[in-house]
Amino acid sequence: MMALSLFCLGLYLDLKDDLPQLPDSLEKINLSLPTEIYSSEGNVIKVLGQRHPVSLEEISPRFTEAMIATEDSRFYSHSGVDHIGLARAMLKNIRNMKVSQGGSTITQQLSKNLFFSFERKWERKIKELLIALQMEATFSKEEILEAYCNQVYFGSGAYGVEDASLVYFNKRAKNLTLLQAAMLAGLPNSPNSANPFNNFERAMSRTRTVLNRMVRSNFISSFEMEQALETDLELAPPRIQSNPNQYFIQYVISNLENEYGKEFVHFGGLKIFTTIDSRLQQYAQQAVLTHMKSLDKRMAPREDEELLQAAMVSLENKTGAIRVLLGGRDYSKSQFNRAVSNNRMAGSSFKPIVYLTAMEVLGISPATVIRDEPVSLEISPGKSWEPKNFNDQYFGDLILKRALMNSLNVVSAKLVNDLTPPRVIKTARQMGLTSPLGENLSLALGATGVSPLEMAGAYSVIANLGILNEPYLVERIEDFRGNKLYEHFYFGVQRFSQKSIYPLLDMMRGVVEEGTGRVIRRMGFSHPAGGKTGTTNDYKDAWFDGFTKDMATVVWVGYDSNISMIDRNGRGLTGGGAAAPIWAYFMKKALSGKSQVNFPVPEGIRFVDVDSQTGYIANSSMKNTMTVAVKNDVVLTLPPSTDSVQGYSPQEESAGEPLDNLETIEEHVLPEL
Amino acid sequence: MKKAGMMGNLNGIVFFVALLVIFSLEMFGKVVERGVGYYLKWENYSRPQLGRIWEKDREKIVAQKKIETLLSSLNTQETSSDSIQSFKELFEQLNPAVPQMVSRKKFLQLYFEFPEQLSRKIISPYELLEIDSNRDWQRVLLTQLGEWITVSFINNQNYPIREVFMSADGVGENPLVRDIFRGTLEEAGFGDNSILPFSDFMRVLKTLGSETQETLFPDPSWFFSKNYHVTRVGIKETPNSNEYPPPARMGVEYQSDFFTEVLILPVPGHISENLLSQIEIPVIDEAAETVSPFGDFQGESN
């Protein structure tokens, strides 16, 4: 007896310093104000730290009876420790030589949930027990039971009985039926495996066990149990598991955590008003899922069964507000946010940056003639690079606009070679790209990692005629009293003159009308738009980046494992085939019912019809002509043989394939949406 | 021996009874648990605040402190912008790291109440009327990016309704910007020989064309609206000016209800030349007679 007392005293002295202080009131645990995140339409899209604490009077007595019968049948008679339960658990644990059974009372469970880690250690168990004893000496049974009911986890993201009632049965805790109460009471023990949304049979089996225990504890009769089992459970439909806003929400949270600290976001009781447009986000997810399913069917079967992934970002040009940010197909399956990750190559979608730099620095225009032919570029003494066009097709002389419309790699490489990569990077930075960009010639083909968000920002500069509005996520943050803690202001900066940007914008309209991106027209998207496809080496990434006057939208498609996207016929997926249809489907829905808005033409720009091969001002005898937008001071020449063309490279006889063949570039069988 | 045996039995009985009592008390009264519970309750406040519930509490406190810091910083900004007395001051407080925000009311107050030319350089009053016509204008945001200052008239969505771009150099070192100095003309750096009574100045002002008058002197309504009484005027050339004719600075001294203040005005070179040619401020020799700046003798003649 003495030895036992001394042992207990020694144990207490050893643990004494680790025993936590108890708060004055158990209500304290429910005082945290939730932080609410709103969409741009003013709807709550996420609540952080939400609790619905209720008093015992607001909980169905059936539930508390079921809970007591299941978790702690001698709750009202013990003082924190159930001797019988504890002895049984100890015997079992000694037999197994490990802590496998708790024998914890409701008070002990509450003690553990409020103060201790969930690791199974003897030491933790004793501390939990001591605090349970103190709780019993400090608070009434009702206070303990109420606190327990309000903080225990019921699965499906529901903490507390009120929240659980709403999640599982869409009703208040006070209105639970016997069957529903029994089902909920069975959940804290196994919130995932006995979750009716995941495994209904197991959940019902657990419910029967709870009802049996209620009968044994004399809370109900066998007859009542049978009657309850015959009633309808009235299970509510599960909350949408894959919230399309989830990638955006997580991005907002992580940005705010970095800026202000985790505590501010999760415990500040804030109202965070974001830029996301839930309606557009829904369209984006629809577009991605529909097209991805269609692509899944087309793809060659893979052993690892990895599915294609996609990301989409859409910005409002005049403000930079991020209206859509989708980081993958399904957040519940993969939380990796591909919309903000810069680990994928931009491919040809980077070329507009090269062309803009060339027009600014080299003084060339969309009508300047350049030769598309196999070329060898020196990258260091004795080392050269031979860029190749898609399908190894070369077209000889052609104007710059045509080269961009058809995404000719050789032309882009020649331009970067003349410009030098650092000069192109300077333009990219001016357009808002922040990712590290490799200072090498392959920049011409977009061999550099960028994020869809960055690309959307850069393309919105083109749509905005040179004004950069930094993409942003949060309009304002208020505290729970409505005091403004943060508000976004627009700092639109004119990074390029309108006259410099418009010729590029017009070239990119050509991409959509007659170039590699014309699939969007074939899919019925009729608003004035510009864009650019992007396909990286070996079909690892497919992009379509495009814009209208009001929105810039970027779509990326690829495998997470960065392998080639090859279909059953052995053909690779391109930006035009894999990403552009998603873009078109989304933009059609997003702009449905809205009037078509043309891009304003700045002063100092004129439109001229030119021959797309020679760059001469067009006449009726010419076959391949196109309209180019050039600055007023650009000199264009008439075709007479005496005149020379004001071109970037000297006129030479075309040695390439006929321009008619350009139609076939990057075009593949397109899936129907 | 027998006695010792009996004592031993008695001890055993006492021990057994004690055990029985303790066991009964524990079984029916839970004395051990209650004793431990009440002991722990008694020494509760000497123990540290450990565990999830306190951690959560601390996080709430950290969050609340952050909110208070943000609010206090915003309040300071608001108070400091409310106390700004002139556009000159507003632009001086601006730096690339800290944009300045003023309410529509404050902007209009600065625009119309302080008689300075900088207001018109920012935007014309007619354009202000136009901005205000759609009832959407809430605030004005001033930002500096490099050498450019952007004045954005923003709506309740913080979207700029109108943006005006100004050169920071032009604003910061603009000698034409007017200012108010609290004190007398002498304290504002005007020498005795450059000061004349207001009535004398008025005689010269009347000789100038109306356009020059408006350029030179602020709208009289400003003085009336504030109940300021003009007393004297001082004129001095701007030192170290490379311009020709050199610009000047004019100080209009007035009495407010509580203070003497000087409104310091820039005078463009061509006006200052004209003005100074008409005003001949003599070197005041106290021993000699007082000479009017206009050449009229005010005292006795020898």
In order of their start, the domains of chain A are: 55-230 (1.10.3810.10)
- Of the CA atoms within 13 Å of residue A150, those in its CB half-sphere come to 23
Query: Which of A5, A9, A19 best probes binding to B when mutated, by most B CB atoms within 10 angstroms?
Result: A19
- B92-117 pLDDT per residue, tens: 788 777 788 899 999 998 888 766 66
> In 3-state terms, what secondary structure has residue A323?
strand
**How high is the pLDDT of residue A172?**
95
Only one residue has tokens 């990638």, namely A247
CA distance B89 to chain A (A): 22
- Alpha-carbon distance values, A380 to A376, A383, A420, A426, A439 (Å): 12, 5, 13, 22, 13
Residue B22 has pLDDT above 80, yes or no: no
Contact check, Cβ <8 Å, A115/B60: no
Judged by CB atoms closer than 8 Å, whether chains meet at A20 and B48 is answered as: yes
Q: What is the pLDDT of residues A75-119, one digit of tens each?
A: 998 888 888 887 887 788 788 776 666 678 999 999 988 888 766
Counting beta carbons within 10 angstroms of the beta carbon of residue A24, is it exposed (0 to 12), middle (13 to 18) or buried (19 or more)?
exposed
Average the pLDDT over each of A209-213, A405-409, A546-550, B85-89 and give the range with the smallest value.
B85-89
Within 19-58 of A, beta carbons closer than 8 Å to B belong to 19-23, 28-29, 31-32
Q: What is the per-residue pLDDT for A602?
A: 95
Suggest the residue from B17, B26, B32, B60 to mutate for an interface test with chain A (most A CBs closer than 10 A): B60
B78 touches chain A (CB under 8 A): no
| pLDDT digit string, tens, across residues A5-24 | 777 777 777 777 778 888 88
Quick one: which of B221, B213, B226 has its CA closest to B265?
A: B213
The total number of residues written for chain B in this structure: 302
Structure tokens, A555: 């779509």
Is B70 at the interface with chain A, CB within 8 A? yes
With contact defined as beta carbons under 8 Å apart, do B238 and B249 qualify? yes
Residue B137 has pLDDT above 50, yes or no: yes
Residue A232 has pLDDT above 90, yes or no: yes
Instruction: Tell me: pLDDT of A236 over 50.
Output: yes
Interchain proximity B145–A493, CB inside 8 Å: yes
Picking from B41, B63, B71, the nearest residue to A483 by CB comes out as B71
User: Is residue B2 over pLDDT 90?
Assistant: no
Task: Report domain extents, chain B.
Answer: 85-172, 179-278
Q: What pLDDT does A332 receive?
A: 82
| Whether the bond into B245 is cis, omega within 30 of 0 | yes
Of all residues in chain B, what percent carry a pLDDT higher than 90? 9
Average pLDDT over residues A532-544: 92
Q: Which band of pLDDT confidence, cut at 50, 70 and 90, is reported for residue B73?
A: confident
Q: Which residue has the higher pLDDT, B183 or A586?
A: A586
- Which range has the worst mean pLDDT, A332-336, A549-553, A668-672? A668-672
Q: Are the C-beta atoms of residues A321 and A472 closer than 8 Å to each other?
A: yes
C-alpha A594/C-alpha A596 separation (Å) is 6
Q: What are phi and psi of A475, to 5 degrees?
A: -80, -50
Q: Does B160 touch chain A (CB under 8 A)?
A: yes
- Closest chain B residue to the Cα of A128, Cα to Cα: B51
Q: What pLDDT, on a 0 to 100 scale, did the predictor assign at position A204? A: 94
> Of A304-313, A514-523, B24-33, B62-71, where does mean pLDDT reach its minimum?
B24-33
Tell me the mean pLDDT in the region B222-234.
Answer: 87
Does the pLDDT value for residue B127 go beyond 70?
yes
CA-based nearest residue to B201, from B276, B301, B90:
B276
Q: Which residue has the higher pLDDT, B216 or A396?
A: A396
Q: Do A79 and B159 lie within an 8 Å CB cutoff?
A: no
Confidence of residue A211 (pLDDT cuts 50, 70, 90): very high
pLDDT band at A249; cut points 50, 70, 90: very high
Task: Residue A17: list chain B partners with CB under 8 A.
Answer: 48
Average pLDDT for residues B250-260, to the nearest whole number?
Answer: 88
Contact yes or no for B53 and A487 at CB 8 A: no
**Tens digit of pLDDT for each residue in B140-189?**
998 887 778 889 999 988 888 898 888 776 665 455 567 788 889 999 88
CA distance B37 to chain A (A): 4
Q: Is A79 at the interface with chain B, CB within 8 A?
A: yes
Taking contacts as CB-CB distances below 8 angstroms, the residues of chain A near B158 are 475, 487-490
A479 interface with B at CB cutoff 8 Å: yes
Which of B96 and A564 is assigned the larger pLDDT? Answer: A564
Nearest one of A272, A256, A274, A277 to A324, comparing CA atoms = A277
In the predicted model, is pLDDT for residue A520 greater than 90? Answer: yes
Record: contact A267-B59, CB cut-off 8 A: yes
Chain B nearest CA to A479, separation (Å): 7
What's residue A660's pLDDT? Answer: 47
Q: Which residue has the higher pLDDT, A304 or A655?
A: A304
Mean local confidence (pLDDT), A553-570: 93
Q: Taking residues A414-422, what's their average pLDDT?
A: 95
Please, which residues have CB within 8 angstroms of residue A611's CB and are 6 or more apart in sequence?
Answer: A399, A617, A618, A622, A624, A625, A639
Beta bridge partners of B45: none
What whole-number distance in Å separates Cα of residue A407 and Cα of residue A624?
Answer: 18
With an 8 Å Cβ cutoff, are B67 and A264 in contact?
yes
Average the pLDDT over A437-441 and give the result.
Answer: 91
Tell if the CB–CB gap between B71 and A131 is shorter than 8 Å: no
Pair A453, A325: CB distance under 8 Å:
yes
Tell me if A353 sits within 8 A of A424, measured CB to CB: yes
Starting at the edge strand that comes first in sequence, how are the strands of the sheet with A322-326 ordered? A322-326, A309-316, A551-558, A541-547, A530-535
Examine the pLDDT at B295 and tell me if it is beyond 80.
Answer: no
A263 touches chain B (CB under 8 A): yes
Higher confidence at residue A117 or residue A381?
A381
Mean pLDDT over residues A143-163, rounded? 90
- pLDDT band with cut points at 50, 70 and 90 for residue A499: very high
**Does residue A666 surpass a pLDDT of 50?**
no
Mean pLDDT of A592-615: 93
Take residue A28 and report the two structure tokens written for it: 């304290």
* pLDDT at residue B171, rounded to an integer: 63
Does B60 contact A28 at a Cβ distance shorter than 8 Å? Answer: no
Averaged over A292-298, what is the pLDDT?
92
Per residue in A309-323, pLDDT tens? Answer: 999 999 999 999 999
pLDDT value for A99: 61
Check CB contact of A631 with chain B, cutoff 8 Å.
no
**Helical ranges in A553-656 per DSSP H:** 580-590
pLDDT of amino acid B242: 67
**What is the structure's pLDDT at A313?**
98
How confident is the model at residue A473, as a pLDDT? 96
Chain A: nearest CA to B122, how far in angstroms? 18
pLDDT at A356 over 90: yes
Mean pLDDT is lowest, of A198-212, A409-423, B80-94, for: B80-94
Q: Please name the residues between 27 and 66 in chain B that touch chain A, using a CB distance below 8 Å.
A: 30, 33-34, 36-38, 40-41, 44-45, 47-54, 56-57, 59-60, 62-64, 66
Pick the residue from chain B with its C-alpha nearest to A477.
B67
pLDDT at residue A455 tops 90: yes
**Which residue, among B17, B20, B30, would best test binding to A if mutated, counting the most A CBs under 10 Å from its CB?**
B30
Residue B31 or residue A416, greater confidence: A416
What does the pLDDT average to over A158-186? 94
The reported pLDDT for the residue numbered A671 is 39
Half-sphere exposure for A72 (CA within 13 Å, toward CB): 25
Q: Does A1 sit within 8 Å of B71, measured CB to CB? A: no
pLDDT band at A513 (very low <50, low <70, confident <90, very high): very high
pLDDT for the residue numbered B117: 63
CB contact under 8 A, A130 and B62: no
Average pLDDT of the segment spanning A423-431: 96
The per-residue pLDDT for range A42-61, each reduced to its tens digit, is 999 998 887 788 999 999 99
Please give the angle made by the CA atoms of A407, A412 and A414, to the nearest 5 degrees: 145
pLDDT at A351: 95
Return the pLDDT at B291.
39
Per-residue DSSP letter, A171 = S
C-alpha span between A210 and A225 (Å, rounded): 10
Question: How high is the mean pLDDT of chain B?
Answer: 78
pLDDT band at A655 (very low <50, low <70, confident <90, very high): very low
B33: confidence class by pLDDT, cuts 50, 70, 90: confident
Q: In the predicted model, what is the mean pLDDT of chain A? A: 88
Residue A418: pLDDT band by 50, 70, 90 thresholds? Answer: very high
Q: Residue A41 pLDDT > 90, yes or no?
A: yes
B194 part of contact set with chain A, CB < 8 Å: no
Cα separation, A93 vs A284, whole angstroms? 54
pLDDT of residue B299: 35
Q: How confident is the model at residue A652 (pLDDT cuts 50, 70, 90)?
A: very low
User: What residues form DSSP beta bridges with A626?
Assistant: A610
Residue B78 above 90 pLDDT? no
Interface of A with B in 222-261 (CB under 8 A): 260-261
Q: What is the pLDDT of residue A560?
A: 93
CA distance A319 to A325: 16
Q: Determine the pLDDT at residue B74.
A: 85
**Residues of B in Cβ contact (< 8 Å) with A42:** none
Q: What is the pLDDT of residue A162?
A: 93
pLDDT at residue B300 in the model: 34
